Amino acid sequence: MLDLKFIRENPELVKENIRKKFQDKKLPLVDELIALDEENRATMKAADEMRANRNKISKMIGALMGQGKREEAEEAKRQVSEQSARLAEAEAKEAKLAERIREIQMTIPNIIDPSVPIGRDDSENVEVTKYGEPAVPDFDIPYHTEIMEGFNGIDLDGARRVAGNGFYYLEGDIARLHSAVISYARDFMIDRGFTYCVPPYMIRSSVVTGVMSFAEMDAMMYKIEGEDLYLIGTSEHSMIGKFIDQILPEEKLPYTYTSYSPCFRKEKGAHGIEERGVYRIHQFEKQEMIVVCKPEESPVWFDKLWQNTVDLFRSLDIPVRTLECCSGDLADLKVKSFDVEAWSPRQKKYFEVGSCSNLGDAQARRLKIRVNGEDGKKYFAHTLNNTVVAPPRMLIAFLENNLNADMSVNIPVALRPYMGGKEKISPVRK
């Protein structure tokens, strides 16, 4: 959410940013916001004047009564009553204007970083760097659910009977591998200085609207019927919400957390054949990282965060690449974003396994997360988030890249302590 004063003083810059995001339908909102703001400030000034005048007349009533000037006192009472009625109307108008102003503020996109490539959608995202050598073995790699079924490791039919499409049972070595990856990711991030946290899995609407756009909220969040609670789509929601309405001591920054949670998502819309199985699902688990820091430090933290994910995947023998999201693919709150994509030997292409985002002060402004600077001045913090790993999707990349011709799966050295020392796991049936 952009500062109202910033929009008022830089309307053309805000409009140009909207054009860069190919959201031209939002352009009229800038002029509407400025007009509403002007009207609201005039209404507030008039209300303040009425309030002061009413208080002045009210103080006169006692004196007039004491002097026996009953008629004048009654006239003063009438004026106070009239001023109160007009003030109530002004306050109601002020509240209505403020509500519409905030609604528009939360709709206008954040100012993107100058380095962000301009493009309409994810087809125009830009590859940054590749890590590791993508390879295609000389044997056919089955679809990921077929690999898992070879280990008696997945039951989609049972999950459909229990919960419908988009859910799964993981069993045996595949379930153990899932847990091992999460545990390894947790310790990997702790070793890099992040504080481990398990957050609430439900959040209030005030937090939901603080951490994401309305469009994202509608597409992702599950509402708890009869409660002001939503199931989280990622632990970032809880972790950033942890700081709502807080004034943070500058000397305590940065706050760096790695958080574990289940995640729940609607995943609206139709998906292609490659997104069956456990690729796009309603429930999964994820290890996340979030940072709350000084504004000038967020670009440095952004690079550290996506690099952490790259390093973790490479430690598991998975080739990856980073992809910078173009302007049209950025969610409205984001300043800059990288996707980390893993190599799929079966598809012979990369696919998304994580996303790193710098949101500037957008979330902090919505949630009122401020920092008390050394000079006593308060400012909004910057927030960032990034996926460490999100199995079971990450398992697709792991299984494909560590698969052998006999359908056994190699366990990289880094993961062996979490798999009982096993160097490989072998299928139950071929």
Residue of 54, 365, 370, 393 marked active site: 393
Distance CA(2)–CA(116), nearest Å, equals 18
pLDDT of residue 65: 78
Residue (of 358, 350, 360, 288) closest to 322 by Cα position: 350
Active site residue: 213, 355, 357, 365, which one? Answer: 355
CATH superfamily entry for domain 4-105: Serine-tRNA synthetase, tRNA binding domain (1.10.287.40)
**H helix or E strand, kind and range, residue 350:** strand 349-358
From 276, 280, 314, 416, active-site residue: 280
CA distance 360 to 257: 17
- Name the active-site residue from 265, 346, 365, 366: 265
**Which has the closest alpha carbon to 255: 311, 326, 197, 317?**
197
Closest C-alpha among 13, 4, 113, 18 to residue 384? 113
Distances (CA, A) of 137 to 72, 344, 401, 404: 99, 11, 9, 9
Give catalytic status of residue 204 as yes or no. Answer: no
- Minimal CA–CA distance to 312: which of 351, 340, 349? 340
Beta partners for 222?
A: 231
Task: Please tell me the predicted confidence (pLDDT) of residue 268.
Answer: 61
What kind and span of H or E run contains 388?
Answer: strand 382-389
pLDDT for 61: 80
Strand order in the sheet with 370-372: 247-249, 370-372, 378-380
Say what the pTM is. Answer: 0.90
Strands (E), 24-168: 126-131, 154-155
Task: Confirm whether 280 is a catalytic residue.
Answer: yes
- Check 216, 352, 408, 416 and give the catalytic one: 352
Domain definitions of the chain by residue range = 4-105, 122-425
Active-site residue, 160 included: no
Residue 1, both tokens: 């959410």
pLDDT by residue (tens digit) across 268-296? 654 454 556 888 899 999 999 999 999 99
Low-confidence ranges of the chain (pLDDT < 50): 270-271, 273
Closest to 29 measured CA to CA, from 295, 37, 118: 37
The interaxial angle of helices 393-401 and 172-191, nearest 10 deg, is 100
CATH architecture of 122-425: 2-Layer Sandwich (3.30)
Q: Name the maximum alpha-carbon separation found in the chain.
A: 107
Residues 6+ apart with CB under 8 A from 49: none
Per-residue CA distances from 278 to 96, 124, 283 (Å)? 46, 26, 10
**Encoded tokens for 112:** 């993107």
**Tokens matching residue 124:** 């125009």
Q: pLDDT value at position 338?
A: 98
Tens digits of residue pLDDT in 221-261: 999 999 999 999 999 999 999 999 999 999 999 999 999 99
Q: What is the DSSP string of 242-274?
A: TTTT-EEEGGGPPEEEEEEEEEE----S---GG
